[in-house]
Structure 1
Amino acid sequence: MATVTRENIGLLNDKITIKVAGADYLPSFEKALKNYSKQANIPGFRKGMVPTGMIKKMHGQSVFADEVIRTVEKELGNYMQNEKLEIFAQPLPLATDEAPKLDMNNPTEYVFDFEVGLKPSFDVADLAKEKMTRHKVTVTEEMINDEVNRLQVRHGKLVDRDAVSEDDNVLNVTFTETDANGNEIEGGIKKDNSFLVKYFAEAVRSTLTGKKKDDVFNIQLNKAFDEKEREWVLSDLGLDKHDEAAAAKFFNVTITKVGLVEKAELNEESFKTIYPKKEIKTEAEFRNEIKEEIQSYWDKQTKNHLQHEIYHVLVDHTKIEFPESFLKRWMQTGGEQPKSQEEVEHEFPTFANQLKWTLITDKLVQENNIEVKNEDIEAFAKQQLFGYMGMNLQDEEQPWIAEYITRMMKDRKFVEDAYHRIQTEKVFDLVETKVNATEKPVTVEEFSKEAEKHQHHHH
């Protein structure tokens, strides 16, 4: 009869010793040999008629070793299940001075040692004691005006103009690479583009008034555009936006068309085009819709920020002890690729933080009966699809949508990923209710600075 003993060898680190005698593994060894002889294909013998003795001579030792190991693993598994051991990863075989020499001709008692890392018991940090701020971005008239203007331009109509007269003129142009004297470089870059006059730097902009179709002017990129626009132009020309030599290149710019976007009027027809699903009749209603959209966007950003803070409070203030030496050994040998001691030491702090967060999440899920149901995953798949397609969740249900969701529910990777994301979201929704956060109205600039400061602090 196999015997299993356990002793403590370190912090949350136990050794499990398993002794197996012949009576434990010999019956399964004999059975395995018989099965082998029924399956074996050996020239000169009909299938299933190979003598067991011959199989034993040819393959006995490897079958014997397999059965001893299998018996040991079964005993280990049963013991851990009966004892309800909560462990990290898998048990690791412990190297001993006398490794068991498995010999089918001398079946005897074999001893195997394993070490396990035990999961710690701990209390999750009390969020109610933490001082936190729930920021609320104030949506200003200026923000609404900017968005109204952007939508009017986006849904406006491009009309031809004879000459450049204002910063909002649209120029269709051809860039042709030249030397510093404006001579075209053979085999140089040639590219069509289109942008507003106001994208040029102030110095160039003032020289463009009155320019017409077919007019040509020469520019040096780093002088013609300010940083943000320059990066965009360089990328469009196929150049590295961080390359100073590329930014110093010269180009002839040939105007192929001068236009102006006539902004969409603020009337019921435009409102219907911009918000087809809403019944918007007046400019006041239109502006209110825009305000709600902007507020909703910033509410999401501030919520993410608060959750980011909560995450750090939970990880930094929840005290959890780990079986460090076991985990480091496991990192070294338990993965797909063995790691060096230096690699393990370098990676361990990040690994321990991830492990800590997993333990905290698991505890919160268990204690609060957080469930992720099939319908949650189906709703997530639908939401993702509608996001990609730019559709609204109020849109009509089409048969192909149901087919898409059915297909995604059979994709194991998608389901696992969705499950994890939904569970994390539910955990955050729960912990947010435990936070005593003071609401603080802020401007976009104030909130952006706060968010940046927080990122730098934690990275």
Structure 2
Amino acid sequence: MNITRENIDELNAVVKVEISKEDYSPKVEKILKDYRKSANIPGFRKGHVPMGLVKKQYGQAVLVDEVNKLLQENLNKYLTEEKLDVLGNPLPKEQADFDWDKDDYSFEFELGLSPKFEVDLKTKEPITHYQIVADDEMIDNQVKTIQKQYGKLVSKEEAAEGDLVAGTFKNEEEGIENTTTFPLDKLKGKRNLNKFVGAKVGDTITLKTKSLFEDDHDLIEFLKVEHDKAHGLDVEVTFEITEINQQEPAELNQELFDKLFGEGNVTSVEELKEKIKEDAENQFKQQSDQQLLNDVTEALIEKTKFDLPAEFLQRWIMVSGEKQLTAEEAKEEYEKSEKGLRFQLIEGKLIQENELQVQLEEIKDLTKDRIKMQMAQFGQMDPSEKDLEDITARVLSNQDEVKKLSEQVMSQKVLEFYKENVNLEQKEVTYENFVKEVYN
């Protein structure tokens, strides 16, 4: 067997694989002999079928299969030994005069080569690294939300702003009849609210569905009308009040603190607010870090210029999926994925050159942290080390899960690498201002 390469340019090459009879013949002969021993052909005893008949019936199929195995095995070995960094997979070149009846074969494959480039992390303008803080207003609102969530309902005879009302919406012609409960805060406009304020259990109120709620989608939930019907629905409905409740906020006491954070972990309103601030800013950190990754990615793609073997990649996309694409579809798919491919190459180079590696212990630590968080949601604040080890072992027995966790660990390593090496500018903002700057 002989393998040679011709470099067309820096991004494209053709590999030629020549296979002679001596390369495949011993294996083909052995397989055919085994076939002869077990073949069931009418008119012949098992094991006594003439070899000529076996070759005629199975010979070419076995030959093609063995040559293809040799071809793939040796081509992959060649790419590894030559340390060729290829994009996509080798594409076989069409050979109009190819003949399986010959003894020796020659195959050609097109290669798309990975470009050579350098990555400079020092951008001209610094990249903003947001430090999102929870301000007093946000913390106070969260305290009110907790009090409301853990509060109790007190039955009333007369409705006031902020109450919950239960009753039945009706409109016979439209087939609307639904018993529901909704907060008066959901109503749109003072006119609708005033119809309820002062109303009593047993009263029937007439309403227009148009602009009844702040969001038309609430008509789907409270009137049980179909989605398409809810938008622009303009009919008259009645609502008979069967129950009125006021939501009394929970007291900020030790019982509530223990219910929220475990016994004795929070003992005062000040500690509650500190805990809310800490939890909120931990969540904000994830958003801030993700935004930093996005911004560094964009900056590196913009700054790091190199060519790709675009024509090769488009031909590869045409044939690499479950369904063959047209040239136009493949071009469109390539244009969609080009940016991601460029960053994949940039990130891969940074990982390799800076020896960023994922260790098994790091995957285990991440898995344990995730398990602790999940258990805490169900009130198990202090699981034993044995329980953690057992659950971790079960999770890591799933190879797909290990791959996913490994990617997350590497993503965190890349993020920390950026924080240490990229030209960053720290900026402290509230969450509200972060959203305005990033998403508006």
Q: TM-score, normalised by structure 2?
A: 0.90
Residue 382 (structure 1) shift: 4.4
Residue 43 of structure 2 is aligned to residue 66 of structure 1: no
Which stretch of the first structure deviates more once superposed, 418-427 or 380-389? Answer: 380-389
CA contact 1:15–1:116 (8 Å) conserved in 2: yes
Write out per-residue CA displacement over residues 143-166 of structure 1, whole angstroms, 9 at most, x where no aligned residue.
Answer: 2221111111111111111211x3
Specify whether residues 129 and 385 from structure 1 end up closer, same or farther in structure 2 by C-alpha distance, changes over 3 A only: same
Aligned counterpart for 1:282 among listed residues 250, 256, 268: 268
Specify whether residues 387 and 239 from structure 1 end up closer, same or farther in structure 2 by C-alpha distance, changes over 3 A only: farther
Q: Which residue of 2 aligns with 1:205?
A: 193
**Which residue identity does 1:170 align to in structure 2?**
L
C-alpha separation between the residues in 1 aligned to 2:291 and 2:390? 36
**Which residue identity does 2:208 align to in structure 1?**
Q
Aligned counterpart for 1:173 among listed residues 159, 167, 179: 167
Residue 73 (structure 1) shift: 3.3
Specify whether residues 211 and 402 from structure 1 end up closer, same or farther in structure 2 by C-alpha distance, changes over 3 A only: farther
Specify whether residues 414 and 149 from structure 1 end up closer, same or farther in structure 2 by C-alpha distance, changes over 3 A only: same
C-alpha separation between the residues in 1 aligned to 2:261 and 2:21? 79
Q: Which residue of 1 aligns with 2:126?
A: 131
Q: Which residue of 1 aligns with 2:252?
A: 266
Residue 246 (structure 1) shift: 5.0
C-alpha separation between the residues in 2 aligned to 1:78 and 1:267? 70
Specify whether residues 48 and 376 from structure 1 end up closer, same or farther in structure 2 by C-alpha distance, changes over 3 A only: farther
**Which residue identity does 1:149 align to in structure 2?**
K
Q: Which residue of 2 aligns with 1:216?
A: 204
Q: Which residue of 1 aligns with 2:15?
A: 16
**Which residue identity does 1:5 align to in structure 2?**
T
Over 6 Å off, 4+ runs: none
CA contact 1:235–1:241 (8 Å) conserved in 2: no
Q: Which residue of 2 aligns with 1:367?
A: 353
Residue 256 (structure 1) shift: 1.7
Q: TM-score, normalised by structure 1?
A: 0.86
C-alpha separation between the residues in 2 aligned to 1:63 and 1:443? 69
C-alpha separation between the residues in 2 aligned to 1:36 and 1:448? 70
Secondary structure of the residue that 1:315 maps to in structure 2?
helix
C-alpha separation between the residues in 2 aligned to 1:213 and 1:323? 75
CA contact 1:234–1:247 (8 Å) conserved in 2: no
Aligned counterpart for 1:109 among listed residues 98, 104, 112: 104
Residue 330 (structure 1) shift: 0.6
**Which residue identity does 1:146 align to in structure 2?**
N
C-alpha RMSD of matched pairs (Å): 2.7
Residue 198 (structure 1) shift: 2.2
Residue 399 of structure 2 is aligned to residue 412 of structure 1: yes
In structure 1, runs of 5+ residues without a counterpart are 179-183, 454-459
Residue 51 (structure 1) shift: 3.5
Secondary structure of the residue that 1:6 maps to in structure 2?
strand
Quote the sequence identity (%).
Answer: 30
Aligned counterpart for 1:150 among listed residues 145, 163, 167: 145
Specify whether residues 237 and 423 from structure 1 end up closer, same or farther in structure 2 by C-alpha distance, changes over 3 A only: farther
Aligned counterpart for 2:429 among listed residues 427, 442, 450: 442
Residue 258 (structure 1) shift: 0.8
Matches for 1:302-313 after TM superposition, within 5 Å? 302-313=288-299
C-alpha separation between the residues in 2 aligned to 1:67 and 1:292? 64
C-alpha separation between the residues in 1 aligned to 2:100 and 2:146? 78
Residue 399 (structure 1) shift: 6.5
CA contact 2:217–2:231 (8 Å) conserved in 1: no
Secondary structure of the residue that 2:341 maps to in structure 1?
helix
CA contact 1:172–1:256 (8 Å) conserved in 2: yes
Q: Which residue of 1 aligns with 2:117?
A: 122
Which stretch of the first structure deviates more once superposed, 333-342 or 363-372? Answer: 363-372
Matches for 1:239-250 after TM superposition, within 5 Å? 239=225, 245=231, 247-250=233-236
CA contact 1:221–1:250 (8 Å) conserved in 2: yes
C-alpha separation between the residues in 1 aligned to 2:385 and 2:84? 49
Aligned counterpart for 1:161 among listed residues 156, 159, 166: 156
C-alpha separation between the residues in 2 aligned to 1:39 and 1:430? 62
C-alpha separation between the residues in 2 aligned to 1:240 and 1:425? 45
Q: Which residue of 1 aligns with 2:54?
A: 55
Which stretch of the first structure deviates more once superposed, 88-97 or 75-84? Answer: 75-84
Specify whether residues 71 and 148 from structure 1 end up closer, same or farther in structure 2 by C-alpha distance, changes over 3 A only: closer
Which stretch of the first structure deviates more once superposed, 342-351 or 287-296? Answer: 287-296
C-alpha separation between the residues in 2 aligned to 1:280 and 1:338? 61
Write out per-residue CA displacement over residues 237-278 of structure 1, whole angstroms, 9 at most, x where no aligned residue.
Answer: 444557565532432222121111221112222222222255
**Which residue identity does 2:210 align to in structure 1?**
N
**Which residue identity does 2:247 align to in structure 1?**
V
Q: Which residue of 1 aligns with 2:323?
A: 337
In structure 2, runs of 5+ residues without a counterpart are none
Residue 24 (structure 1) shift: 2.5
Residue 138 (structure 1) shift: 4.1
Residue 414 (structure 1) shift: 2.4
Secondary structure of the residue that 1:72 maps to in structure 2?
helix
Residue 223 (structure 1) shift: 2.4
Q: Which residue of 2 aligns with 1:395?
A: 382
Matches for 1:295-334 after TM superposition, within 5 Å? 295-334=281-320
Write out per-residue CA displacement over residues 380-421 of structure 1, whole angstroms, 9 at most, x where no aligned residue.
Answer: 444445555624784323866655433332323322223223
